[in-house]
Chains A and B, each alone.
Chain A
């Protein structure tokens, strides 16, 4: 099982390396966008999927990261400085946003975070002196590293891919560490976790802060990718879209948000031939999927694998439920 996972991961990685050379600029742009949204969705998956804290504010962090990076790059600072600062600011703001979660849960928490998203969006729109208001921000260069300029779409794609893989490895490390177990315990049964010594206050705040930092880092990549940012990109819509990525992919599954993001970003492109039917087909697919498999696409995959395993020998089904 382990070996198969490693081989599959390497195969996917190889595909991701080869793919851009066979695509036009727009295709590469879409792939880069997938990487960026995947990072934000992975963060939300930690907050929501692993730690069980509902958040409708991930787009706000995407925005904070994007505006921070854009403003700093316009002022002539290097990209990595903006990237680090975006992560730092979002971590701190996420920590603060975590406090309501110590008091309210579920749909109440959803509304608290929704309010926060609206607030941040209003700041982006109204504080024209800083954010450019509805006109947005542009004219910040794409970063270059070691003499390699990422203005080229392929170069930026590889840059996004590198950061994506790096952040995925870090998140994987977090969820497989005792922290991951504590987050899961927080989701499943906070009272029992507390009685076993898990400091649920601290873990709740951390779940928000780390998820927010991932949102900020995604935003930091988003700004140079699209080269123009305005408040529209960070509305509640985007938060709902990121939530959809996590849920459709498989909440609480490591690769769930990545698969979910792939679907949400690519499906509109694939369904382009249906013209006006796109949204209807899309909405129906999501409804059917979630009604029959709430654990998302990854859950669907796990279920099929389990079913296939149980069939030939019959006795091996109990091996892994």
Chain B
């Protein structure tokens, strides 16, 4: 299959069932370079399962996934990460016993050198400077040497997101980055994401329930319901689509 190189991510006919429930049902979509794609849908519509199938956390029952034109279906998450795909999870996942700095360094170290050179090289894999940059970018500098577990929920969420950006990914998939983040920090997060997108040409796929956040962040939105894509378009189109409104509000 020859996929256009402009597509950072191509998902072709992914399906995934759990027992009798078809969580993801023949989903296909492309994500172009530099795009910020929103993925919305009611609870249980299969958004996170789709993410997991794309990112190697789960193996899809059928379908293929391409990153930069290369087939990556059934690759392990760590291999995908090395191909330049960063992600966050819906549940907050930072390493609470490490400091903020250590969390960020961890997120970059596996991209440096080989297994052996990492053992004999510097303790920080030469990443402190780069880590400080990312920490400053997400405005966490004052918390740099604090244990991640001692941070507030919103700060940990920012750290979680920051980790996904440490290795200079070309594609970042964020699962509810705004969940539990207060309004001021939310503005800051949106601004950071847009800046990252513009300055470093990173492509995003974002799952989010906060409509205002999604509508103002994304350039294109996909709507998932019962495991299938029911609508696609600009934020404006989605906002006024009767199918979407029905899926959210129910019959």
Residues of A within 8 A of B (CB): 174, 176-179, 181-182, 184-185, 188-189, 191-202, 321
Contact = CB atoms under 8 A, between A and B. Distances in A.
B115 to A, nearest CB: 7
Given A178-B125, A181-B98, A196 B107 contact: yes
A90 B1 CA distance: 47
A185 B148 CA distance: 13
A305 to B, nearest CB: 16
B190 interface: no
A252 to B, nearest CB: 8
A181 B106 contact: yes
Contacts of A189: 93, 95
23 contacts: A178-B123, A181-B102, A181-B105, A182-B106, A184-B95, A184-B98, A185-B98, A188-B96, A191-B57, A193-B106, A194-B78, A195-B77, A195-B81, A196-B110, A196-B166, A197-B81, A197-B82, A197-B110, A198-B106, A199-B78, A321-B146, A321-B147, A321-B150
B110 A198 contact: yes
Contact of A181 (B109, B121, B150): B109
A184 B97 contact: yes
Contacts of A188: 95-98
B67 interface: no
Contacts of B125: 178
B200 interface: no
B98 A202 contact: no
Given A194-B76, A198-B106, A178 B89 contact: no
Contacts of A195: 55, 57, 77-78, 81, 87, 89
B225 interface: no
A202 B121 CA distance: 19
A154 to B, nearest CB: 35
Contacts of A185: 95, 98, 106
B139 interface: no
A52 B110 CA distance: 20
Interface string B115-141: 100111101110000000000000000
A192 B82 CA distance: 14
A89 to B, nearest CB: 21
Contacts of A192: 89, 93-95
A25 B128 CA distance: 51
Interface string B58-79: 0000000000000000001110
B119 A179 contact: yes
Contacts of A194: 76-78, 81
B111 interface: yes
A191 B76 CA distance: 11
Given A178-B110, A181-B105, A197-B111, 8 more contacts: A178-B118, A181-B106, A182-B109, A184-B97, A195-B89, A196-B107, A200-B78, A321-B146
Contacts of A191: 57, 77, 89, 93
A178 B82 CA distance: 16
A219 to B, nearest CB: 24
A301 to B, nearest CB: 17
Given A178-B121, A191-B57, A199 B110 contact: yes
B167 interface: yes
Nearest to A199: B78
B121 A198 contact: no
